[in-house]
Amino acid sequence: MDWMPCLLCMKQRSLNVVVLIFLLFCFVSATYGYDPLDPNGNITIRWDVILENQDSSQDVRISIVNEQLFRHVELPGWKLSWAWVGDEVIWNIEGAEATEQGNCSAFKGRQLPHCCLKEPTVIDLLPGAPYNVQVANCCKGGVLSSMVQDPVNRLAVFQMHIGSGGSNSSNLKTGMPANFSLGLRGYTCGDPVQVPPTKFYEDHGRRKTQALATWNVTCIYSQFKSSTAPTCCVSLSAFYNETIVPCPKCSCACNGQAGTGECVKPGELPPTLQQLSPHNEAPKAVVQCSDFMCPVKVHWHVKQSYKEYWRVKITVTNLNYVKNYSEWNLVVLHPNLSNVTQVFSFNYKPLNTYGNINDTGMFYGIDHYNDMLLQAGETGNVQTEMLMHKDEGIFTFREGWAFPRKISFNGDDCVMPSPDMYPRLPNTAHFHAPPSPPPFFIVFTMLLLIYFLS
Ligand SMILES: *[C@@H]1O[C@H](CO)[C@@H](O)[C@H](O)[C@H]1NC(C)=O
Ligand SMILES: *[C@@H]1O[C@H](CO)[C@@H](O)[C@H](O)[C@H]1NC(C)=O
Ligand SMILES: *[C@@H]1O[C@H](CO)[C@@H](O)[C@H](O)[C@H]1NC(C)=O
Ligand SMILES: *[C@@H]1O[C@H](CO)[C@@H](O)[C@H](O)[C@H]1NC(C)=O
Ligand SMILES: *[C@@H]1O[C@H](CO)[C@@H](O)[C@H](O)[C@H]1NC(C)=O
Ligand SMILES: *[C@@H]1O[C@H](CO)[C@@H](O)[C@H](O)[C@H]1NC(C)=O
Ligand SMILES: *[C@@H]1O[C@H](CO)[C@@H](O)[C@H](O)[C@H]1NC(C)=O
Ligand SMILES: *[C@@H]1O[C@H](CO)[C@@H](O)[C@H](O)[C@H]1NC(C)=O
Ligand SMILES: *[C@@H]1O[C@H](CO)[C@@H](O)[C@H](O)[C@H]1NC(C)=O
Ligand SMILES: *[C@@H]1O[C@H](CO)[C@@H](O)[C@H](O)[C@H]1NC(C)=O
């Protein structure tokens, strides 16, 4: 069923090779949750036992590490849950908290456990949590950055003291818990695997200590598990053709179709937003009405051609009235990205997933400048221009060479127009023979002429 929306969206267009490849992608992704742009990407939950007490209670440290190149975890953040195999309870926890205490009536005394549930759910503390409940690398509200964008903040850590929930504390059934979940849409976690114990560095790296035991749980993302409909689309234009190729009709949903949620017509006021607490569910998108109904649109404009370079302008527009995208990123697949010379107002990093074929690159905002893509109605767009070097002799704008093969926004594929729609070169023009000079050059020449003639 997961691939049905792809099929429906493609219905109006000719079933060319690209569509077939796209459908293949749908199947592959639906089955294996595998992203060819980040084939090893995963989020790893590391469970380190750091102390075992006489009464068989344990201190464990849990690290959640984002091992994905470009996919990050946004608010409302991760919600880690698991199922105890025995009758364990969480006595204390630092750097995070259980969402519910559960039934602790079996315990008498001054102090009750932090959580007595069989299947606890733990969330990160918010930044600025009291100092005495913090541990290093905690308290980011559940947000994890990606490996490329901010490797320091791709880690979350908390520590727990766990013990037996029965009245007889010496028969704690210790065993690695099962059924881990990150509480994030699209991620599936595997079973814990015991790995060589983690080494911790002390005394500026001069001494190493190690965990008593370490387990890893690997969680993998699949776009088609996450959401059945795409969330982003691409439109194209070029200086040599006035046609703007729009996002394909019904890219994300069809306007007016039942069950696609509300949309806001131009000139209408967006609905008033209820205040969201950070751990609520992410709100359903409220998009601007359009033929494609996507919350995010990426426009690729081939802007200019110089003698040795060509220039592309990329604009990312947020059409969602209820979401600001923090730490947004764009991954672009274009065979000529190896010739990128300069990128303005965005950060750019090549992603060389397959050795040194650098046809894939990641664009993302500059901190405190445009790293936040504001909701529609605010200044809901960010833009960049980039210069690419022309390969002498073989350079051409023909056959759609100037356009990307694939674009993803925040790790989810955007719907592309089909290649037979791409803006075409006018038949008569010889574009790369005399390249159009940059406008400032013309102005400069005119000024010179005026100067000499007067
Ligand atoms: C998880 O990601 C890391 C880093 O990319 C990789 O080394 C590891 O093999 C991955 N694990 C699995 C099970 O794919
Ligand atoms: C276990 O996970 C940690 C954290 O991601 C990683 O550094 C380590 O290499 C993993 N161990 C194995 C054997 O995969
Ligand atoms: C984990 O989930 C499976 C399937 O839902 C269930 O059969 C199993 O008992 C669960 N494990 C624990 C320890 O609860
Ligand atoms: C709480 O747990 C105790 C025993 O551990 C049980 O007797 C009691 O019925 C439970 N209460 C509820 C409301 O489940
Ligand atoms: C606790 O359990 C152990 C082993 O199961 C048993 O030998 C011991 O008698 C029990 N103690 C109490 C107080 O029930
Ligand atoms: C997005 O950011 C703007 C400006 O910072 C703010 O006014 C607005 O409430 C935010 N919207 C959401 C949905 O968080
Ligand atoms: C191509 O990949 C190499 C190796 O990673 C990198 O050093 C270089 O900057 C990349 N070039 C471009 C233009 O992306
Ligand atoms: C463009 O990239 C290709 C592929 O990496 C390389 O062979 C070529 O030399 C580059 N051309 C220029 C002008 O940088
Ligand atoms: C991209 O690179 C290919 C192979 O090097 C070349 O044939 C093509 O003209 C280039 N296109 C653009 C727009 O740079
Ligand atoms: C511009 O591109 C469109 C769509 O590919 C094409 O139909 C049209 O003929 C092109 N215009 C010119 C002037 O070549």
pLDDT in tens, 150-186: 999 999 999 999 987 665 554 555 678 999 999 998 8
Phi-psi region of 225 (alpha: psi -120 to 50; beta: other; left: phi over 0): alpha
Q: Which helix (H) or strand (E) holds 8?
A: helix 4-10
- The phi, psi pair for 81, rounded to 5°, reads -135, 160
The C-alpha atoms of residue 406 and residue 413 are separated, in whole angstroms, by 7
The C-alpha atoms of residue 286 and residue 375 are separated, in whole angstroms, by 10
Which whole number is the average pLDDT over 400-409?
Answer: 90
The confidence score (pLDDT) of residue 174 equals 61
The C-alpha atoms of residue 350 and residue 356 are separated, in whole angstroms, by 10
Which domains, ranges and CATH numbers included, belong to the chain? 43-224 (2.60.40.290), 227-270+284-421 (2.60.40.290)
Hey, which of 356, 391, 396, 401 would you mutate to test ligand 8's pocket, going by the most ligand atoms within 8 Å of its Cβ?
Answer: 391
* Cβ of residue 226 lying under 6 Å from some atom of ligand 1: no
Tokens (6 digits) for 41: 């990407």
* Cβ of residue 272 lying under 6 Å from some atom of ligand 5: no
Which whole number is the average pLDDT over 228-240?
Answer: 89
Q: Which residues pair with 382 in a beta bridge?
A: 316
* Cβ of residue 76 lying under 6 Å from some atom of ligand 6: no
* Strands 381-389 and 340-344, bridge-based pairing: antiparallel
**Residue identifier of the C-alpha nearest atom 9 of ligand 1:** 40
Both ends of the chain: CA-CA distance in Å? 74
pLDDT in tens, 244-296: 999 999 898 888 776 556 788 877 777 665 544 444 566 677 888 888 889 99
* Cβ of residue 338 lying under 6 Å from some atom of ligand 8: yes
pLDDT in tens, 327-362: 899 999 998 888 888 899 899 998 877 777 778 999
307 closest CA partner among 232, 390, 247: 390
pLDDT in tens, 123-132: 999 998 888 8
Q: Are 147 and 155 in contact (CB under 8 A)?
A: no
The confidence score (pLDDT) of residue 335 equals 87
pLDDT in tens, 26-66: 444 344 457 788 888 999 999 999 998 877 788 999 999 99
In percent, the amount of the chain with pLDDT more than 90 equals 38
**Residue identifier of the C-alpha nearest atom 6 of ligand 10:** 424
